[in-house]
């Protein structure tokens, strides 16, 4: 008898039952000297404490990265990362980018044409010509 792995019983669907924010960590890298980090430094001083307090489920790390442009990196539950360079931006623009990283799911950008994706079985079943009353031609 061959060994068979356990089949997956259920698929996780975020929001059914519990909701888990997909962004688990945000890294902020800045430079003290360079001018492109000015908005980022202002963001870290003025806006980041409020943002961090409002999102206790996100781990936030701030670390210097001298002689480089400022970067915000988001780490997601599915193991992927997404990074945005925020050079020469104002603090509010950096906040927009941070919100974008917070709302993202970590998946690759896909073009979808159908709005609804479902893994449920069809509620009304599949139509069959051999069942029901039939149709007189």
Partner 1 sequence: MSRALLRSVLELRPAVPRPIASPRILPATQIRALQTQTPRQFNPTAQFVDPQPRPSQLPEQSTSSLSSSSQREPPKQKPNPPRVRLPTTPPEITPQKLDPSVKSLLPLLAAQPAHYITIHIHGRPYLVTEGDAVRLPFLMPDVQPGDVLRLNRASTLGSRDFTLKGSPWVDERLFECRAVVTGTEQEPVRVMIKKKRRCRRKKHVFSQHRYTTLTISEVKVVTEVPEDA
Q: What is the binding site for partner 1 (CB under 8 A)?
A: 13-17, 19, 21-22, 46-47, 50-51, 54, 90-93, 95-96, 99-100, 102-105, 107, 109-112, 115-121, 123-125
Nearer residue to partner 1 within complex by CB, 68 or 80: 80
Nearer residue to partner 1 within complex by CB, 65 or 88: 88
Nearer residue to partner 1 within complex by CB, 7 or 17: 17
* C-alpha span between 106 and 23 (Å, rounded): 7
CA-based nearest residue to 39, from 28, 53, 25 = 28
Instruction: Report the C-alpha dihedral over residues 60, 85, 111, 23, rounded to 10 degrees.
Output: 0
């Amino acid at each position: 008898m061959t060994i068979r792995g356990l089949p997956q019983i259920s698929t996780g669907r975020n929001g059914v039952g519990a909701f888990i924010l997909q962004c688990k960590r945000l890294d902020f890298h800045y430079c003290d000297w360079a001018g492109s980090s000015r908005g980022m430094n202002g963001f870290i001083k003025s806006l980041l404490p409020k943002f961090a307090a409002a999102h206790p489920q996100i781990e936030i790390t701030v670390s210097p990265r001298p002689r480089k442009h400022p970067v915000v990196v988001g780490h997601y539950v599915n193991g992927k990362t997404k990074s945005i360079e925020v050079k020469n931006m104002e603090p509010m623009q950096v906040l927009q980018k941070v919100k974008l990283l917070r709302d993202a799911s970590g998946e690759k950008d896909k073009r979808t044409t159908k709005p609804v994706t479902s893994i449920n079985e069809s509620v009304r079943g599949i139509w069959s010509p051999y069942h029901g009353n039939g149709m007189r031609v």
